[in-house]
Amino acid sequence: MNDLPLPPGTRTSRRARRAAFTLAGLLLPLTTVATPLLRCEVAYAGTTQVIEARPVADPYPVASVDIGGRFRFKAVMVGDARHIEYIKLYAYLETKRQPILVQEAKYLPPFSAASTPYLLTGEQYLYAGAVERELMYRCTLEGIAS
């Protein structure tokens, strides 16, 4: 085989075109923008759960997560891979009748574009119930396009 470059206008073989497309397909994932990811570490009674949220168009179907039978936590990121409209976090105290909202936090753009996850919320400490049970959480955000 000849390793010399082809002169302009020379036709390439089907095999060469296929190899070029394969190489382009392998490189494509390296250039695409990551989907935003909200990751919350929620701790109660010595146990930590990680709750992840990706962008959604409709926040209402997103389910809350049981935290130790005492609390519920819901993380919602509304938008798409290119633009996040808002992030809302909800913490509820479980009661016999129904969950009671303890905290609702709303975060609005602009969000920082960073190559590594950054702390969005800081450390949050919530106290609720007759004996003031403690729920702690912190959330990081990553994959925001600039």
CA angle 72/107/115 to nearest 5° reads: 100
pLDDT value at residue 31? 43
- The per-residue pLDDT for range 4-30, each reduced to its tens digit, is 555 555 555 556 555 554 544 444 444
Tell me the CB-side half-sphere exposure of residue 69, using CA atoms within 13 A. Answer: 1
CB 111 within 8 A of CB 144: yes
pLDDT value at residue 114? 81
CB 40 within 8 A of CB 23: no
Structure tokens at 27: 């490189």
Question: What's the predicted TM-score (pTM) here?
Answer: 0.76
pLDDT value at residue 29? 45
DSSP 8: T
- The per-residue pLDDT for range 51-99, each reduced to its tens digit, is 999 999 999 999 999 999 999 999 999 999 999 999 999 999 999 999 9
- The per-residue pLDDT for range 90-136, each reduced to its tens digit, is 999 999 999 999 999 999 999 998 889 999 999 999 999 989 999 99
pLDDT value at residue 21? 47
Closest CA to 128 of 41, 27, 44: 44
Domain boundaries along the sequence of the chain: 37-142
Q: Is 73 helix (H, G, I), strand (E, B) or coil?
A: strand
Beta bridge partners of 142: 37
